[in-house]
Amino acid sequence: MPDNRRPVALVTGGTRGIGRAVARRLAADGYDIAYCGRGESAGRTAELLTEHGAAHFYQACDVADGDEVGRFVKRVARELGPIDVLVNSAGVVRDRNLVMMPFEDWTDVIDTNLTGTFHFCRAVGFQMVRRRTGAIVNMSSVSGVHGHAGQANYAASKGGVNALSRSLAKELARYGVRVNAVAPGFIESDMTDELTEQAKERALAGIPMARFGTTEEVADLTAFLVSDRAAYITGQVLQIDGGISL
């Protein structure tokens, strides 16, 4: 990398929650940031990135559309330069017991969480292979490791992300590209804000650390994994869950 070029990170789902926290943390670490996500929240992310002096580029993108993803990735390279880091954080939840689950709730979750991750890994991974350098972090969930009742679609999508990450790590290691997954437990975010107080109390009762995690803590782990400090770590699914899976 030329000494005068800032590294570039692409963060999907970067307009809210964990994605926004990751984008902000990487900007603080000296990255320029490309991001996509819900348009109504894009401006707040831009403000946070500007505070850290990061150049940034936002564009709405349907992560489930491979052609749209390909165009977005090419646009990022034109606007900011080669992509050094990819963080796949875009995701949706449609919780319901499987026997009552509309097929659309299954396909929406799989298409966004798993197929969307595939599209970005393919498009950005191709660039990284050509340059023989890069780091990818795919946002998973403890649900994808252990499964949760009422989350068959979500657990399946995140379990797929874990398997995809491990397989891709084996494929890309020879090209100097590392791939890992981060599996959060209950994290304070807009998703957990939708839980009832009773649901939150039940969740807290199962967490040995007796609290929800923060998006900043997930961002810290992600920033470590894409850094040179994690140069010998690839193909891992790292849980950050306060001990809920013990």
State pLDDT tens for residues 171-191.
999 999 999 999 999 999 877
Catalytic hit among 31, 154, 175, 232: 154
Residue 174 falls inside a structural domain: yes
Strand partners, 32: 8
CA angle 72, 60, 86 (to 5 degrees): 50
Residue 135 falls inside a structural domain: yes
Residue 3 falls inside a structural domain: no
Query: Is residue 175 annotated as a catalytic residue, yes or no?
Result: no
Instruction: Give the helix/strand (H/E) hosting 106.
Output: helix 103-109
CATH number, domain with residue 201: 3.40.50.720
What is the b/e burial string over 174-187, where b = at least 16 CB atoms within 10 angstroms of the residue's CB? eeebbbbbbbbbbb
User: Per the structure, how many domains does the chain have?
Assistant: 1
Domain boundaries, position 67: 8-240
pLDDT, tens digit, 9 for 90 and up, residues 89-143: 999 999 899 999 999 999 999 999 999 999 999 999 999 999 999 999 999 999 8
pTM of the model: 0.95
Instruction: Give the helix/strand (H/E) hosting 193.
Output: helix 190-193
Residue 114 falls inside a structural domain: yes
